């Protein structure tokens, strides 16, 4: 659900059946392909592909959010291990990998995450991410790049039930907080919305997804001023330093 609109995959991967039964004789490659059929359904939504092609602001924000707010690292794809649609990522969880891969197939491809900097390739959505052409490593329709300086990362924890990233867009120097997490945790932190209808629609979609037994994740973003960022980073770094000292005090005797 983006901007109050639900985007669903048209079908599963080509040649895949909706049958839940699995043949025990499936090899690892077949099992991986079957997993792709469901995990990466994000990239198979024709309406979402069209919206991404039209560069609608909300959809672009959604895809950029998926491509920036994470701890995923690009890996080198090979012919024997091309990943999905020619993209291979190392992630702490299959969920993280699936979200970043979906964003890549829809036009915001993570190509670098190192030295507190994330680089994205911006390109047209893959019209058929399951095709052999899309899986070809040589296939590239990148048009431009976007770079984000990652100023701080608060990783997901069972206590916080959310992850947040503070980033600076190198194109215009703007700052933003990217947040994703459990719906109850994120929604209660939203400011008063000027888009009450969209928020109501989103809540209704979340309820419907929950009734269908689906897991949900909510994304939110806030623009930040430079003074806000500087003040927060000062507090954040002080807290990080204090935490490091506490850990050193607790663990140093056992390191001898």
CB atoms within 10 A of CB 253: 7
pLDDT, residue 12, reads: 40
pLDDT of residue 7: 87
Q: Which helix (H) or strand (E) element contains residue 207?
A: helix 196-211
List pLDDT tens digits, range 39-64. Answer: 467 777 888 889 999 998 999 999 99
Residue 204 CA to residue 117 CA, distance in Å, equals 36
**What 8-state DSSP symbol labels residue 213?**
T
- 75, 60 contact by CB (below 8 A): no
Whole-model pTM: value is 0.81
């Amino acid at each position: 659900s983006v901007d109050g609109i639900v985007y669903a995959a048209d079908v599963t991967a080509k040649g895949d059946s909706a049958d839940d039964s699995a043949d025990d004789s499936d090899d690892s490659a077949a099992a991986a392909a079957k997993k792709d059929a469901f995990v990466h359904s994000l990239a198979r939504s024709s309406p979402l592909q069209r919206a991404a092609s039209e560069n609608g602001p909300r959809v672009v924000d959604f895809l950029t959010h998926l491509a920036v707010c994470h701890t995923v690292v690009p890996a080198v794809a090979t012919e024997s291990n091309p990943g999905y649609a020619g993209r291979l990522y190392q992630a702490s969880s299959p969920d993280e990998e699936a979200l970043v891969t979906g964003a890549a197939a829809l036009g915001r491809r993570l190509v670098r995450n190192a030295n507190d900097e994330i680089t994205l390739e911006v390109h047209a959505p893959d019209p058929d991410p399951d095709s052999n052409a899309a899986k070809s490593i040589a296939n590239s329709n990148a048009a431009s790049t976007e770079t984000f300086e990652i100023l701080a990362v608060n990783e997901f924890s069972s206590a916080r039930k959310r992850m947040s990233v503070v980033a600076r867009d190198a194109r215009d120097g703007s700052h933003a907080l990217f947040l994703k997490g459990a719906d109850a945790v994120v929604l209660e932190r939203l400011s008063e919305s000027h888009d009450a209808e969209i928020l109501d629609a989103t809540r209704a979609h979340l309820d419907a997804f929950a009734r269908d037994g689906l897991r949900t994740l909510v994304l939110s973003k806030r623009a930040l001023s430079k003074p806000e960022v500087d003040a927060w980073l000062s507090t954040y770094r002080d807290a990080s330093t204090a935490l490091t000292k506490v850990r050193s005090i607790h663990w140093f005797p056992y390191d001898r």
